[in-house]
Structure 1
């Protein structure tokens, strides 16, 4: 936990917070927090600053806080992903939050097993839980938005053209594609397929919506590996 995220319910007043949940347990057991110790804190969807421990007991911790920094800049990216299998979905949600993605569309695909859509991980509270873990890792406060689209064709025909308009629109595909373009901060729409990739029909529909196929070379990567590799190739590191 590189940042302690604070929520509205934590505030006793504008400069004092009280924490009782897993964040408190982490601060006590991992960081071994003591009176006077300072931690990096941030308000969810707000500013980042510093919190000083002013009281601690077996059930809670109180901090005096102030905020003076904006969160890291989001990636100028709309990320579209075929829904991964549940175990991979957990890691993917945390990864995209850590890397600065703020808009994620999880979509259906021919190679997405129907059972994936019934996983408890897609419940709003579980999605939020994994996104928060990613934000804490990155030292970010801006919660990503996750959009679920269970029908491929209506999404690609009715929504994707507008999303891709006036962006660098790309679909990751290992065959008959151009090499991944150079890193730039250009607004981008990127689609990533399931294990085994999008089928030819799906790639064609995305091309009709304005997306151009790109590849990362001859090696075929798992989705959980392809996501950070693609984002690190498409966008420059923030200084």
Structure 2
């Protein structure tokens, strides 16, 4: 927990918060904080600053907080991601939040098993839990927006053109002839398929919508690896 993320319900006064559960435990067992200890804090969707520990009990930690600076700028990217398998999903969600992605669409694909959509990790509470863990890691406060899209063709034909409007449109796909660009300084809409890539029909539908296929080389990466590699390559000066 590089940043203690504060929720509205944590505030007992304008400059006082009470932390319980995981965050209190982190202060006690990991940081081994004592009264007077200062740590980075930030209000969810708000400013960042410093918190001073006033008291620590078995149930709660009380901090005096001073919030005076903006969180880091988000990446200028909209990420369109074929729904990963459940055991990978939470890591991908955390990575996206850590790296500054603020718009994430989880979409269907031929290789996405129907059972993936039943994962409890797609519930609103679980999604927010992992987004917050990612924000704390990356020292950010702006909560990303995650949208679930369970039908590939209607999404690509009816929604994606407006979503990607005004941006450079890229689809990461193994075996294409163009390497993923670097040093990009314009907004990007990036599509990433399931492991092994989209099927040819899906790639063609994305190309019809204006997307350019790009690759990362001859190796096939896991989705949880491909996401940070692609984002770092595209926005190496801001990640």
Tell whether the structures are fold-level matches, with TM greater than 0.5.
Answer: yes
Structure 2 residue runs without a partner (length 5+): none
Moved over 2 A (4+): 236-239
Provide the residue aligned with 1:221 in structure 2.
Answer: 221
Identify which range, 174-183 or 77-86, moves more after superposition.
174-183
Counterpart secondary structure, 2:67: strand
- The answer to whether structure 1 residue 86 and structure 2 residue 86 are counterparts is yes
1:160-197 deviation line (CA, Å, top 9, x unaligned):
11122211100001123311112223100000000121
Aligned positions, number: 239
1:27-46 correspondence to structure 2 within 5 Å: 27-46=27-46
Give the whole-Å Cα distance in 1 for the aligned partners of 2:146 and 2:185: 22
Provide the residue aligned with 1:181 in structure 2.
Answer: 181
Counterpart secondary structure, 2:96: helix
How does the TM-score come out when normalised to structure 2? 0.98
RMSD: 1.0
User: Is contact 1:75-1:101 (8 Å) kept?
Assistant: yes
Structure 1 residue runs without a partner (length 5+): none
1:34-78 deviation line (CA, Å, top 9, x unaligned):
000001000000000000011111111101110111101100000
- The answer to whether structure 1 residue 2 and structure 2 residue 2 are counterparts is yes
User: Is contact 2:174-2:196 (8 Å) kept?
Assistant: no
User: Is contact 2:175-2:218 (8 Å) kept?
Assistant: no
How does the TM-score come out when normalised to structure 1? 0.98
Alpha-carbon shift at residue 237 of structure 1 (Å): 2.9
1:66-81 correspondence to structure 2 within 5 Å: 66-81=66-81
User: Is contact 2:72-2:140 (8 Å) kept?
Assistant: yes
1:83-131 deviation line (CA, Å, top 9, x unaligned):
0000110100000000000000000000001100001010000011111
Give the whole-Å Cα distance in 1 for the aligned partners of 2:177 and 2:124: 35
Provide the residue aligned with 1:114 in structure 2.
Answer: 114
Provide the residue aligned with 1:206 in structure 2.
Answer: 206
Counterpart secondary structure, 2:197: coil
1:115-162 deviation line (CA, Å, top 9, x unaligned):
000010100000111111000100000010000000000000001111
Provide the residue aligned with 1:132 in structure 2.
Answer: 132
Give the whole-Å Cα distance in 1 for the aligned partners of 2:12 and 2:166: 45
Identify which range, 100-109 or 182-191, moves more after superposition.
182-191
Counterpart secondary structure, 1:178: coil
Give the whole-Å Cα distance in 1 for the aligned partners of 2:42 and 2:164: 32
